[in-house]
Amino acid sequence: MVESGRKLTFAAHAALILGVAVMVLPVWLAFVASTHPGTDFLTGRIGFLPGPGLIANYKEALFTGSSVSGFPPVGPMLWNSFVMAMAIAIGKIAISLLSAFAICYFRFPFRVTAFWLIFITLMLPVEVRILPTFEVVANLGMLNSYSGLAIPLIASATATFLFRQVFMTIPDELTEAARIDGAGPLRFFWSILMPLSRTNIAALFVILFIYGWNQYLWPLLVTTDQSYYTIVMGIQRLAAAAAEADPVWHLVMTTTILAMLPPVAVVIAMQRLFVKGLVETEK
């Protein structure tokens, strides 16, 4: 019986290690390619070990780019993506918290209807509403701006539903105790609901940050100025430039690795709260 359990444990660990290797190998090859000259990438002489151009390639990609192939520096793109991702994550969480608070704790006409109207918007795919949204943004003069990149994407029916479910698990006795102590609605929201929702906010922040960071179609539509390009749409443009001009695939790989670092850093930094927020069921 013990021997069978050991074999099962060994098989499970072997499967996990194989899965990690399959997922990590492409990332490692991209990192190795980012440390070699572009000519090595084309000739297939890269191998599995980093090359001598680690610092030079990353410095060139971040700050100077390649003027010969029209390869712009990616430092500003990383900043644009960071601003967009932070604005989307914080905006979605703030609006969703307030809307869920209003739906759960205030009595007003058509309260339930308002919630279901918000929830029904989940059934509308992005492609259905992207052209009307673009027209509104264009008419408001928000093209080629951070507000145009972020504001149309900050409403979230999913986050509103999540926080509504969280607030519904909070005992009514806590609400009554706060009312007896003289706490107003905003004091109750800030001092009680916010601390109790901390793990859920953290989990949602990670998801929404990655969602904003990975946006491609919307930034492609609302930006024509290179100074507002995001890193994801920049990778596509850089790959096209590399295919038509000099071999700068090492810079493309460098940009890809750089684009991965902020989301990975956010996940690692908030891993504990992220997992706790997803599995926590009781307050």
For 266-276, write each residue's pLDDT tens digit. Answer: 988 888 877 77
Q: What is the pLDDT of residues 99-118, one digit of tens each?
A: 899 888 888 888 888 888 88
Work out the mean pLDDT of the chain and round it to a whole number. Answer: 84
pLDDT of 131 higher than 60: yes
Q: How many Cα atoms are found within 13 Å in the side-chain-facing hemisphere of 58? A: 14
Residue 56 structure tokens: 């030079």
Query: Between the CA of residue 158 and those of 93, 118, 238, what are the distances in Å?
Result: 10, 9, 34
Question: Are the C-beta atoms of 213 and 232 separated by less than 8 Å?
Answer: yes
Instruction: Note the pLDDT of residue 2.
Output: 53
pLDDT surpassing 50 at residue 220: yes
pTM of the model: 0.86
* Percentage, residues of the chain above pLDDT 70: 90
Q: What span, in angstroms and rounded, lies between the C-alpha atoms of 154 and 89?
A: 7
Q: How confident is the model at residue 283 (pLDDT cuts 50, 70, 90)?
A: very low
* DSSP 8-state class, residue 36: S
SS3 of 113-134: HHHHHHHHHHHCCHHHHHHHHH
Q: Is the pLDDT of residue 213 over 80?
A: yes
Burial label for 97, CB within 10 Å (0-12, 13-18, 19+), is: buried
44-94 pLDDT, tens digit per residue, is 677 788 888 888 888 888 888 766 556 778 889 999 999 999 999 999 999
Residue 206: count of CB within 10 angstroms of its CB: 22
Please give the C-alpha separations between residue 243 and each of 26, 68, 77, 237, in angstroms, as whole numbers: 20, 13, 20, 10
pLDDT at 282 over 70: no
Nearest to 256, CA basis, from 231, 226, 229, 230: 231
- The more confidently predicted of residues 6 and 170 is 170
* Residue 265, pLDDT score: 92
Helix, strand or coil, per DSSP, at residue 71: strand
pLDDT at 3 over 70: no
Mean pLDDT across 253-263: 91
Q: Strand, helix or coil at 142?
A: coil
| CA distances for 233 relative to 18, 213, 217, angstroms | 32, 11, 8
What's the pLDDT at 54? 84
Mean pLDDT over 9-27 rounds to 87
Task: Give the pLDDT confidence score for residue 69 in this predicted structure.
Answer: 59
Q: Is the pLDDT of residue 199 over 90?
A: no
Three-state SS for 66? strand
Residue 280's pLDDT band, with cuts at 50, 70 and 90, is: low
What burial letters (b/e) apply to 214-249, b meaning 16+ CB within 10 Å? ebeebbebbbeeeebbbbbbbbebbeebbeeeebbb
Amino acid at position 193, single letter: L
Round to whole Å and give the CA distance between 23 and 6: 26
Terminal CA-CA length for the chain = 40
Give Cβ neighbours of residue 196 (< 8 Å, ≥ 6 apart). Answer: 166, 170, 283
Stretch 147-175: mean pLDDT: 87
